[in-house]
Amino acid sequence: MHHRTVVLAILITAAAAAPAGGGRQAPVRWGPVVLRQAPSWYGSAAARALADAVVRHQSPQGGWPKNTDLAVPPGARPDVGLANTIDNGATVTPLRLLALVITASGDQQHRESFERGLRYVLGAQSPSGGWPQFFPLRPGYYSHITYNDDAMANVLGLLRDVALGQPPYAFVAPPLRARAWPAIERGTSVILRTQIRQGSRLTGWCAQHDETTLAPAWARNYEPPSLSGHESVGIVRFLMSIERPSTEVVAAVDGAVAWLEAVALHGLRVEEFTDSQGRADRRAVSDPAAGRLWARFYELETNRPIFIGRDRVIRYDHAEIEQERRSGYAYYGTWPERLLTTEYPNWREERVERRVAGLHRAPGCRSGVS
């Protein structure tokens, strides 16, 4: 290990453990938590050291890898998944962290890295308006429009914040910031075009759509063309963030919410247990008192929950897929609950009904996207 690498790793840990102002704080580990620190932390030595490590992981193209501890400088341990991607929060999370540090510290040394990463994100948008999981493109499903795990919703949320030009993105040069609006509009357009219809009714989205035909598409063997009870939620949240939603955006949100309400599962609970071989497992059991659940995958034509293991065979019973997938993948969840009970009703009142009543006077941008 190089001396500089050792020093940087020690600085990240030591500075986080002894923040200015007294008291002790556990080191901030890499992950979504790095974006949820107190505002004052981003101007600290610990935050600047973390940003230094993050910059050293950036690729020549401008992106970052997934499943990699970006708080550990390269060379301190082998990296995993070394490729430019927006999957699992990669690239978007590093960019958001850098913006917070640049703004809080007033130190512009990380600005070039941020702007190179932002140009990478803008350049990765496909002709369809979507974003692939990896860019430069890799063969296979990686080039599909990727809603999986909120990848594209995360990108659009970042671009929206950059385009608005408010802290912590006020430092972004106006010409680069201006490129975000057309990208957002194209991304919103493809979201509307990929929303799946059942007859005349708008429903949800697949976790990935073909970048050319826009049809629901396969990803991994256990991720079939289907309607997603998970990814549809992140897409709806992005659409609801549009300050002045168009008629088409409102219809898309209303349709997806109605579909999520209709496909909710009642009287079912998922529990963890240890099987006869001592392995962790999960099973779905009947429970009349249980709250609502949603399936990760719904059959495109019937809305019937489907389950699929590594053998690529679609089944209708969670118990019929292999133990490794049952315990290692979320086939059931409560992902839409807060959206349906709180966020959507509030959005309806604040963004839609007040606007129709002529009470909404917030500034917006072209095509009702903001």
Write out the catalytic residue numbers.
88, 220
Cβ atoms of 45 and 11 within 8 Å: the answer is yes
Positive or negative torsion for Cα 121, 124, 127, 130:
negative
Whole-angstrom Cα distance, residue 290 to residue 304? 20
| 236-247 residues labelled b (16+ CB within 10 A) or e (exposed) | bbbbbbbbbbbe
Tokens encoding 165: 């030009």
Cβ atoms of 30 and 69 within 8 Å: the answer is yes
Q: What phi and psi, each to the nearest 5 degrees, are found at residue 227?
A: -95, 135
Q: Residue 285 is inside which H or E element, if any? A: strand 280-286
- CB-based contacts of 350: which residues, under 8 Å, 6+ apart? none
Closest CA to 176 of 128, 134, 98, 120: 120
Looking at the DSSP bridge assignments, the partners of residue 146 are 208
Cβ atoms of 263 and 229 within 8 Å: the answer is yes
- CB-based contacts of 216: which residues, under 8 Å, 6+ apart? 196, 206, 208, 209, 210, 225, 226, 227, 300
Whole-angstrom Cα distance, residue 112 to residue 369? 28
Cβ atoms of 183 and 161 within 8 Å: the answer is no
